[in-house]
């Protein structure tokens, strides 16, 4: 967008960007420790960006010592000189005259559109496959890195207990979109060490999870319910537990197999069947390995129930492959990614074939991309596209997007 070959400061000095510096997301100058060559000299320091040069005084930067090391003031419009602390005018570049006008006009048209799902929806199918493939690779890594931040925060909170973090991540995913927060609250409502102890007791984990979720607080003429209720009452009193309010858990607009009661029963069965689950997950490599590991079924009671005390047609409530795929995408792969980075010097190559072996997610965003003729062959692609939509398209960050830059470039050529 900028004609960088002949860019000059407002006093006519040629400007060459050696290093743009680090983008500062905290308070202070916008870019830190950049390197610029101006007037035949190498300058090292910070860079500040404004719409007008007068914004320097409007934002009170002249009174803030944090801005003393600024070596360049980048503005759209130069409306007045700015004096540095030593009384010398601050180096300034006004980029308005160096911007390729057709691209700017096209970008302004992009930003003014409100009725499109994404701004480049009429042009994205013409983007070169090479550009698209490379950008998709970058987008998937970005999404994985974003999820890894959540994992690292959980690790810190759990004093690096990988099993405890796994339980919290799995719980959130078992809750699906509608009950994710409620299931996270459930996982946080007791110490994971208690779940470890109850794994040795028949139905111990089941009574703990249903009790903490608040589903064992009422009165029902149901032997299985009463058995769990009695078990939970003992554990609750011994460990001083406080159950959640069941109103956190949503049943409305969910198919019965996705009811929170069924998901809790499946999660409990998983942990009653498997000790040291994280160790088993580390050993599993392929999707088939994980399908086998998660091939657990709920107690027979749930074959004829979706909620306590109300019978239904017989149906075995096993963990489906589609749910295992979600667990892999949202919990297991991000957790293994962080583990491998920490313990194997960032050797995470084994994860790419795994994510690529999973089916693409099926949701409204992915379906819209397919209608725009953007291929989505597997979960690797769907995760990349979700990152594209959330972090670039929705925020109109076309100038930060390889697709947007190519579309704008072609528009400029065609103008």
Q: Which helix (H) or strand (E) holds 173?
A: helix 162-174
The beta-carbon contacts of 339-348 under 8 Å, at least 24 apart in sequence, are 339/162, 339/282, 341/148
Please report whether residue 124 resides in a domain: yes
How many domains, in total, are found in the chain?
A: 3
Higher pLDDT, 98 or 411: 98
Residue 252 has pLDDT above 60, yes or no: yes
99, 120, 148: which is the final residue of a domain? 99
For the chain, give the mean pLDDT. 91
Residues 183 and 310 both lie in one domain: yes
Residues 202 and 302 both lie in one domain: yes
Q: Which residues, including other chains, have CB under 8 Å from residue 25's CB and lie 6 or more apart?
A: none
Residues 91 and 110 both lie in one domain: no
Residue 265 has pLDDT above 60, yes or no: yes
Please report whether residue 123 resides in a domain: yes
Provide the pLDDT confidence category of residue 331 given band limits of 50, 70 and 90: very high
Please report whether residue 275 resides in a domain: yes
Q: Read off the pLDDT of each residue in 98-126 and give the average, rounded to a whole number.
A: 79
Residues 325 and 400 both lie in one domain: no
Residues 87 and 123 both lie in one domain: no
> Residue 246: its pLDDT value, please?
94
Residues 129 and 35 both lie in one domain: no
Q: Which helix (H) or strand (E) holds 270?
A: helix 260-273
Please report whether residue 360 resides in a domain: no
Residue 132 three-state SS: helix
> Residue 413: its pLDDT value, please?
44
Provide the pLDDT confidence category of residue 403 given band limits of 50, 70 and 90: very high
Residue 53 three-state SS: coil
Residue 14 three-state SS: strand
Cα-flanking dihedrals φ and ψ of residue 266, to 5°?
-70, -40
310, 335, 355: which is the final residue of a domain? 355
> Residue 2: its pLDDT value, please?
57
Per the structure block, which two tokens stand in for 183?
Answer: 């299931």
- C-alpha distances out from residue 171 to 270, 280, 282, Å: 11, 17, 18
Cα-flanking dihedrals φ and ψ of residue 254, to 5°?
-115, 140
Please report whether residue 303 resides in a domain: yes
Residues 36 and 82 both lie in one domain: yes
Q: Read off the pLDDT of each residue in 261-284 and give the average, rounded to a whole number.
A: 96
Give the other-Cβ count within 10 Å of 246's Cβ. Answer: 16
Residues 339 and 288 both lie in one domain: yes
Residues 275 and 201 both lie in one domain: yes
Q: Read off the pLDDT of each residue in 251-274 and give the average, rounded to a whole number.
A: 96
Q: Read off the pLDDT of each residue in 202-229 and give the average, rounded to a whole number.
A: 95
Q: Read off the pLDDT of each residue in 311-337 and give the average, rounded to a whole number.
A: 96
Provide the pLDDT confidence category of residue 414 given band limits of 50, 70 and 90: very low
- Cα–Cα distance between 392 and 8 in angstroms, integer? 31
Residues 195 and 317 both lie in one domain: yes
Provide the pLDDT confidence category of residue 123 given band limits of 50, 70 and 90: confident
Please report whether residue 43 resides in a domain: yes
Provide the pLDDT confidence category of residue 415 given band limits of 50, 70 and 90: very low
Please report whether residue 292 resides in a domain: yes
Helices (H), 189-246: 192-198, 204-212, 223-239
355, 380, 398: which is the final residue of a domain? 355
Please report whether residue 322 resides in a domain: yes
Residue 24 has pLDDT above 60, yes or no: yes
Residue 346 has pLDDT above 80, yes or no: no
Per the structure block, which two tokens stand in for 197?
Answer: 């102890």
Provide the pLDDT confidence category of residue 40 given band limits of 50, 70 and 90: confident
Residue 390 has pLDDT above 90, yes or no: yes
Q: Which domain holds residue 71?
A: 4-99
Residues 214 and 333 both lie in one domain: yes
Residues 205 and 346 both lie in one domain: yes
Residue 351 has pLDDT above 60, yes or no: yes
The size of the chain, in residues, is 415
Q: Which residues, including other chains, have CB under 8 Å from residue 289's CB and lie 6 or more apart?
A: 283
């Amino acid at each position: 967008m900028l004609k960088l070959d002949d860019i000059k400061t407002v006093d006519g000095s040629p400007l060459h960007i050696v290093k743009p510096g680090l983008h500062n997301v905290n308070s202070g100058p916008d870019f830190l420790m950049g390197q610029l060559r101006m007037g035949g000299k190498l300058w090292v320091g910070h860079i500040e960006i404004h719409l007008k040069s007068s914004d320097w005084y409007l934002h009170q930067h002249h009174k803030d010592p944090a801005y003393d090391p600024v070596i360049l003031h980048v503005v759209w419009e130069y409306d007045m000189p700015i004096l540095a602390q030593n009384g010398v005018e601050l180096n300034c570049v006004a980029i308005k005259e160096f911007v390729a006008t057709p691209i700017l006009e096209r970008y302004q048209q992009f930003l003014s559109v409100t009725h499109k799902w994404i701004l480049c929806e009429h042009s994205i199918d013409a983007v070169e496959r090479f550009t698209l493939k490379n950008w998709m690779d970058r987008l998937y890594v970005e999404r994985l890195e974003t999820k890894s931040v959540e994992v690292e925060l959980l690790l810190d909170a759990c004093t690096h207990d990988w099993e405890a973090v796994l339980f919290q991540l799995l719980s959130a995913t078992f809750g699906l979109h509608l009950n994710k927060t409620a299931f996270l609250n459930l996982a946080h409502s007791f110490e994971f060490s208690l779940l470890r102890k109850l794994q040795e007791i028949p139905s111990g984990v089941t009574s703990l999870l249903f009790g903490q979720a608040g589903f064992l607080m009422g009165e029902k003429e149901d032997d299985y319910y009463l058995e769990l209720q009695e078990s939970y009452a003992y554990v609750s009193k011994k460990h001083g537990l406080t159950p959640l309010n069941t109103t956190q858990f949503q049943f409305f607009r969910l198919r019965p197999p996705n009811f929170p009661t069924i998901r809790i029963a499946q999660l409990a069965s998983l942990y009653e069947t498997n000790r040291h689950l994280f160790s088993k997950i580390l050993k599993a490599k392929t999707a088939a390995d994980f399908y086998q590991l998660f091939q657990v079924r709920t107690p027979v009671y749930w074959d004829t129930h979706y909620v306590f005390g109300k019978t239904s047609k017989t149906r075995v409530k096993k963990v489906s492959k589609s749910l295992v795929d979600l667990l892999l995408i949202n919990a297991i792969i991000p957790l293994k990614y962080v583990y491998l980075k920490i313990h194997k010097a960032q050797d995470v190559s084994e994860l790419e074939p795994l994510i690529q072996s999973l089916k693409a997610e099926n949701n409204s965003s992915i379906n819209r991309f397919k209608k725009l003729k953007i291929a989505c062959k597997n979960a690797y692609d769907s995760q990349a596209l979700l990152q594209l939509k959330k972090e670039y398209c929705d925020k109109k960050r076309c100038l930060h997007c390889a697709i947007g830059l190519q579309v704008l470039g072609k528009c400029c050529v065609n103008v």
